[in-house]
Amino acid sequence: MKILFMKQDALSFIKENMKTLYVNYYREKTNKWIYDLFDYDPFDVVIEVPDFELAPIIANRKGFTELENCKIIYEKLKCISESQASDERLWAGLCNGTFYEYVRNRWGYDMLDFKETKSDADSVLSRFFFKNGKYRNSLSKCWWVGHNTYLQNDNNHYQLLDYLGADDFSTKINDLFYNYAFSSNLQIVTGIIKGWHTATNDRKLTIREYFRPMMQDFNALGGGVLLDIYSEEEIEKIVYDYIVSLIIKESPIVSDNNDDDIDE
């Protein structure tokens, strides 16, 4: 499989003209239209890896698809560096090149209606490019979540993803990795996810009432002390105790007005 970079000139042109070009993502099942924009190949082959397929897209199981793609994309592309994984050209190449049809299907563009030009164009820029950063691009977020939860010395390298669970997966990874600076610290991330897993104990706990208040409370803790001083076990206990306190109503739930069902 060829891993493509989108050439910078092509990337800049498409982004600058997205207010007119976005309609192609709704209408065009293949990316031939991208090639037709230029008198040169808009992609460069950077590396080649063994062929692989992304997770099946199953109606009403988007969380499962996202979780599995975090495992697949990181496992198959561990060969790339953090620097390469931070490069918009790589993920623009994959989303608009190798996996163009997959990403379109993932977001159901064949069935979507046009809404408002700016919001429709911005959604394409976020999903196929880097408008809102590496944790919102359809594929790069999977690499980075896999990277930041990978347990090198564990038999199940992706145990933390299994602990996090497929329910509301996109919202959980958004709250965990997009909103807080400590998400790159594996010790902290491991403690948080293990604490969540232990406290939930197979209960169906909502993001709004439990996961998000827990993350806000833990982040507030960092305002008074350096979070790095805590061991993984201490973080796990802090998270566990807070969630249990919410379950038994010993602590008020943090108010939050954001929607739970983030699907980016």
Share of the chain above pLDDT 90, in %: 73
Report the SS3 class of residue 229. helix
Q: Of 150, 170, 185, at which residue does a domain stop?
A: 150
Give the helix/strand (H/E) hosting 98: none
- Residues 22 and 111 both lie in one domain: yes
- Residues 139 and 12 both lie in one domain: yes
pLDDT at 160 over 90: yes
Compare 10 and 264 and report the one with higher pLDDT.
10
Share of the chain above pLDDT 70, in %: 94
pLDDT at 84 over 50: yes
- Residues 249 and 177 both lie in one domain: yes
- Residues 157 and 261 both lie in one domain: yes
Outline where 86-231 has alpha helix (H): 88-93, 100-106, 117-128, 140-149, 159-164, 169-173, 186-200, 212-221
The phi, psi pair for 85, rounded to 5°, reads -70, -15
- Residues 39 and 15 both lie in one domain: yes
The phi, psi pair for 228, rounded to 5°, reads -65, -15
- Residues 159 and 84 both lie in one domain: no
- Residues 130 and 180 both lie in one domain: no
pLDDT at 167 over 50: yes
- Residues 36 and 82 both lie in one domain: yes
The whole-angstrom separation of Cα 123 and Cα 121 is 5
Q: What is the pLDDT of residue 264?
A: 58
Give the number of domains in the chain.
Answer: 2
Q: Which domain holds residue 11?
A: 1-150
- Residues 108 and 185 both lie in one domain: no
- Residues 83 and 13 both lie in one domain: yes
